[in-house]
């Protein structure tokens, strides 16, 4: 799976779980700028992680979750794992 | 009024819904002379308190003391034409005697409110065959003992095992631990700034609750009584710092997974543990091991709009700390931290020291 494919899948999973509109999805696609997305918070973080796990059929190490704070970090994690 | 006349003063029926009235106080003394229309006592119905007047002229002889809930129709005093108190009152049947007599005769009386409730729940008169007078409380008691009684459209939702367990735990706790509460307001801007600073410094995403749990983990060893269990034989001071973190599940149940050896974990690791619990909670995969062994608990209402929480201490724990949602306005916004503690174990000063230490330490993260 290419990096772009992973990114598309990650963005789709997060867009679905957070019910993002197209503008918010654009913000999400800016890989390092997820912090600008008001719906991506510590309160929704676990839901995001569950959605990504489901999308890639993986189990993310819980200790790594706080560091998975943007799309780029999640892509890196998946590339190392899958 | 003739010399032989003795008139009862009875609890009146004020509303169709009230089967009883509370006798708040007597406004005149025993054996006082009263005139018809004089206020003689204060009664309280479910709606309001009101003054009750003497039905006729004469001397009032009180037979029911104030401070009691009394059935409608009950005689609370007599009014006689002479000041002398008769040796014996007329043989007017008491309220209880009236009930007993009615029961023997099979004459079932049902108050309006009780009848309405019975009709609503399809309860037949036979259900109260052993009573002479059916009151609302009798029907409510019946409903409690017969929980499957339902009206059209009602649906019995069975308790989940988890809900039953939670209920058992909370009932035990509230019934056995003498709770006391202390609260402290902390500047919302300062706390959020502390969290933001950590997130930027370590490039992680954590919450204020994570910081709270981590802070408690770091200082609990300095407050051994807070990390203890009350036993009849003494206070069991726990070696391990095991923190329960209350989570509301999607089905509305409350679970409290435990972070064991929390004092050996960094803030990031504690945040990771909590995200792991949240993840397993979403997936319904929390295990018994996840949910047991806590010695202190933290509960959060951040994001709910509720500013202050008065939590219930879990059994075998000495305290629980709650944080409510941000409240206030403009530059004066706060989070309120409330510590519920077992007053057998801690006095207010000790609990206050702990609460202050938690707040101070959280704010130190900002510096």
In a domain, B170, yes or no: no
Query: Alpha helix (H) ranges present in B110-153?
Result: 112-120, 136-145
Q: Which residue, among B279, B281, B284, B300, would best test binding to A if mutated, counting the most A CBs under 10 Å from its CB?
A: B279
Q: Residue B337: which H helix or E strand, with range?
A: strand B332-342
What does the radius of gyration of chain A's CA atoms come to, in whole angstroms? 11
Structurally, chain A folds into a number of domains equal to: 1
Please give, rounded to a whole number of angstroms, the shortest distance from the CA of A18 to a CA of chain B.
Answer: 15
Q: How far is residue B309's CA from residue B305's CA, in Å, rounded to a whole number?
A: 11
Q: How far is CA B8 from CA B29, B83, B134, B145, B264, in A?
A: 16, 15, 24, 37, 76
In a domain, B367, yes or no: no
Burial tier of B354 (Cβ tally within 10 Å: 0-12, 13-18, 19+): buried
In this structure, the answer to whether residues B270 and B318 fall within a common structural domain is yes
Structurally, chain B folds into a number of domains equal to: 3
Q: How far is residue B27's CA from residue B39's CA, in Å, rounded to a whole number?
A: 7
Domain of residue B148 covers 97-161
Domain of residue A71 covers 3-81
The three-state secondary structure class of B319 is strand
Long-range CB contacts for residues B195-203, cutoff 8 Å, separation at least 24: B195/B365, B197/B365, B197/B366, B198/B267, B198/B365, B199/A69, B202/B267, B202/B268, B203/A67, B203/A69
Tell me the chain B residues in contact with residue A50 when contact means C-beta distances shorter than 8 Å: 279, 282-283
In this structure, the answer to whether residues B183 and B299 fall within a common structural domain is yes
Cβ pair B178, B343 in contact under 8 A: yes
Residue that terminates a domain, selected from B92, B111, B134 = B92
Contact B275 A62 (CB under 8 A): yes
pLDDT-based confidence at B230, cuts 50/70/90? very high
In a domain, B168, yes or no: no
Q: How far is residue B109's CA from residue B351's CA, in Å, rounded to a whole number?
A: 55
Distance of CA B288 to the CA centre of its chain: 29
User: Which ipTM did the prediction report?
Assistant: 0.93
In a domain, B167, yes or no: no
| pLDDT of the residue at B321 | 98
Q: Measuring CA to CA, which residue among B14, B17, B8, B6 is closest to residue B98?
A: B8
In this structure, the answer to whether residues B353 and B283 fall within a common structural domain is yes
Q: Measuring CA to CA, which residue among A32, A42, A41 is closest to residue A71?
A: A32
What would the mean pLDDT of B260-264 be, rounded to a whole number? Answer: 97
pLDDT-based confidence at A20, cuts 50/70/90? very high
Contact A63 B268 (CB under 8 A): yes
| pLDDT of the residue at B206 | 95
The three-state secondary structure class of B112 is helix
In this structure, the answer to whether residues B182 and B264 fall within a common structural domain is yes
| pLDDT of the residue at B149 | 56
Tokens of B106: 């099979």
What would the mean pLDDT of B310-330 be, rounded to a whole number? Answer: 94
Q: Which of B53-57, B85-89, B237-241, B315-319 has the lowest mean pLDDT?
A: B85-89
In a domain, B202, yes or no: yes
User: Is residue B2's pLDDT more than 70?
Assistant: no
In this structure, the answer to whether residues B107 and B222 fall within a common structural domain is no
pLDDT-based confidence at B156, cuts 50/70/90? low
CATH assignment of the domain containing B259: 3.30.559.10
In a domain, B252, yes or no: yes
Q: How far is residue B171's CA from residue B312's CA, in Å, rounded to a whole number?
A: 10
Q: How far is residue B109's CA from residue B125's CA, in Å, rounded to a whole number?
A: 10
What would the mean pLDDT of B58-75 be, rounded to a whole number? Answer: 87
What would the mean pLDDT of B283-312 be, rounded to a whole number? Answer: 92
CATH assignment of the domain containing B64: 2.40.50.100
Say whether residue A64 is in contact with chain B using an 8 A CB cutoff. Answer: yes
Higher pLDDT, B252 or A41: A41
Higher pLDDT, B335 or B133: B335
Query: Alpha helix (H) ranges present in B106-223?
Result: 112-120, 136-145, 161-176, 188-202, 208-219
What would the mean pLDDT of B181-208 be, rounded to a whole number? Answer: 94
Higher pLDDT, A38 or A10: A10
In this structure, the answer to whether residues B39 and B153 fall within a common structural domain is no
In this structure, the answer to whether residues B76 and B115 fall within a common structural domain is no
Helical pair B136-145 and B112-120, crossing angle rounded to 10 deg = 30
Q: What is the pLDDT of residues B89-148, one digit of tens each?
A: 887 555 555 554 444 445 678 888 888 888 877 787 877 877 878 888 888 888 877 766
What would the mean pLDDT of B345-353 be, rounded to a whole number? Answer: 97
Contact B282 A69 (CB under 8 A): no
Q: Which residue, among B197, B205, B207, B257, would best test binding to A if mutated, counting the most A CBs under 10 Å from its CB?
A: B205
CATH assignment of the domain containing A51: 1.10.1200
Tokens of B57: 């002229």
Tell me the chain A residues in contact with residue B303 when contact means C-beta distances shorter than 8 Å: 43
Higher pLDDT, B229 or B138: B229
Q: How far is residue B66's CA from residue B75's CA, in Å, rounded to a whole number?
A: 13
Q: Which of A49-58, B66-75, B265-274 has the lowest mean pLDDT?
A: B66-75
Tell me the chain B residues in contact with residue A62 when contact means C-beta distances shorter than 8 Å: 272-273, 275-276, 279
What would the mean pLDDT of B297-315 be, rounded to a whole number? Answer: 94
Considering only residues 40 to 59 of chain A, which have any Cβ-Cβ distance to chain B shorter than 8 Å?
40-43, 45-47, 49-50, 53
Q: DSSP assignment of B270-298, as one string?
A: HHHHHHHHHHHHHTT---TTTTS--SEEE
């Amino acid at each position: 799976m290419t990096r772009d494919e992973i990114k598309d899948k990650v963005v789709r999973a997060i867009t679905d779980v957070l019910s993002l509109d197209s503008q918010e999805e654009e913000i999400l696609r800016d890989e390092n700028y997820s912090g600008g997305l008001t719906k991506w918070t510590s309160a929704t973080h676990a839901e995001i992680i569950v959605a990504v796990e489901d999308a890639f059929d993986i189990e993310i190490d819980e200790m790594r979750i706080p560091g998975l704070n943007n799309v780029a970090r999640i892509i890196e994690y998946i590339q190392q794992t899958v | 009024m003739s010399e032989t006349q003795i008139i009862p003063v009875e609890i009146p029926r004020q509303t169709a819904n009230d089967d009883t009235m509370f006798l708040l106080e007597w406004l005149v003394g025993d054996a006082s002379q009263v005139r018809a229309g004089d206020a003689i006592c204060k009664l309280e119905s479910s709606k309001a308190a009101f003054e009750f007047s003497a039905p006729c002229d004469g001397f009032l002889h009180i037979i029911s003391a104030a401070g009691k809930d009394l059935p409608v129709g009950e005689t609370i005093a007599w009014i006689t034409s002479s000041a002398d108190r008769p040796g014996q009152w007329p043989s007017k049947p008491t309220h209880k005697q009236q009930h007993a007599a009615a029961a023997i005769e099979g004459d079932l009386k049902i108050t309006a409110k009780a009848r309405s409730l019975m009709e609503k729940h399809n309860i037949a008169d036979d259900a109260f065959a052993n009573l002479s007078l059916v009151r609302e409380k009798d029907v409510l008691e019946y409903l409690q003992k017969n929980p499957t009684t339902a009206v059209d459209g009602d649906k019995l939702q069975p308790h989940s095992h988890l809900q039953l367990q939670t209920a058992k735990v909370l009932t035990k706790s509230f019934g056995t631990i003498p709770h006391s509460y202390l609260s402290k307001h902390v500047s919302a801007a300062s706390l959020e700034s502390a969290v933001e600073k950590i997130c930027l410094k370590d490039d992680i995403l954590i919450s204020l609750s994570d910081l709270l749990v981590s802070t408690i983990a770091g200082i609990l060893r300095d407050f051994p009584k807070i990390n203890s269990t009350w036993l009849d034989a003494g206070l069991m001071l726990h070696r391990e710092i095991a923190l329960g973190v209350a989570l509301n599940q999607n089905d509305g149940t409350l679970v409290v997974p435990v972070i064991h050896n929390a004092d050996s974990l960094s803030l990031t690791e504690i945040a990771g543990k909590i995200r792991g619990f949240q993840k397993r909670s979403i997936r319904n995969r929390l295990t018994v091991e996840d949910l047991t062994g806590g010695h202190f608990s933290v509960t959060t209402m951040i994001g709910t709009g509720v500013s202050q929480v008065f939590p219930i201490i879990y059994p075998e724990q000495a305290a629980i700390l709650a944080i409510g949602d941000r409240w206030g306005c403009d530059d004066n916004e706060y989070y309120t931290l409330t510590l519920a503690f077992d007053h057998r174990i801690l006095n207010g000063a000790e609990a206050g020291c702990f609460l202050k230490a938690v707040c101070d330490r959280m704010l130190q993260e900002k510096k």
